[in-house]
Amino acid sequence: MAFKYQINKMEDIADAAVEFVKQFPEAGVFAFYGKMGAGKTTFIKAICEELGAIDYVTSPTFAIINEYNTDSSDVLYHFDFYRIKEIEEAYDLGYEDYFFGGRYCFIEWPEKVDALLSEDVVNVSITEQEDGTRRIETM
């Protein structure tokens, strides 16, 4: 499924999250690609809020994974693999339980664990344009 959305100002991010959840209403693994500061964490936060997260959504840069409970008693998983040095660190986390557990998984810096991602992962690119706007699209 193709998804494209242009974010012109920060207020648009909630609308982008609404459209993203409409496009992908079923849980799955979503890999977010983009440069540092492109808005990956901010967009994932908006998606989690749209999905009913009742926990505070933050970057799991140091924890590597954050779990967020939702108002429907579900759990959302948010990964940030920026700091891992070796793919074995993902094995130590028990990535299989998360990636194949049938819940929403949002991954920042998936380049670090590409070999572990299944072919049905949804790859999402966030690109900052010269004028400061962001383009979000599935690849």
Domain boundaries, the chain: 4-138
- Give the model's pLDDT for residue 23: 95
- Averaged pLDDT for residues 112-119: 94
- Give the model's pLDDT for residue 139: 87
- Give the model's pLDDT for residue 137: 97
- Give the model's pLDDT for residue 49: 96
Q: Is the pLDDT of residue 60 over 90?
A: no
Q: Could you tell me if 122 and 29 are in contact, meaning their C-beta atoms sit under 8 angstroms apart?
A: yes
CATH no., domain 4-138: 3.40.50.300
- Give the model's pLDDT for residue 110: 97
List of residues 6+ apart from 104 with CB closer than 8 A:
27, 28, 30, 51, 74, 76, 77
- Give the model's pLDDT for residue 64: 92
Question: What pTM was computed for the model?
Answer: 0.94
Grade residue 131 by pLDDT with cuts at 50, 70 and 90: very high
Ordered strands of the 134-138 beta sheet? 4-7, 134-138, 122-128, 29-33, 105-108, 75-80, 65-69
Grade residue 4 by pLDDT with cuts at 50, 70 and 90: very high
106 beta partners? 30, 78
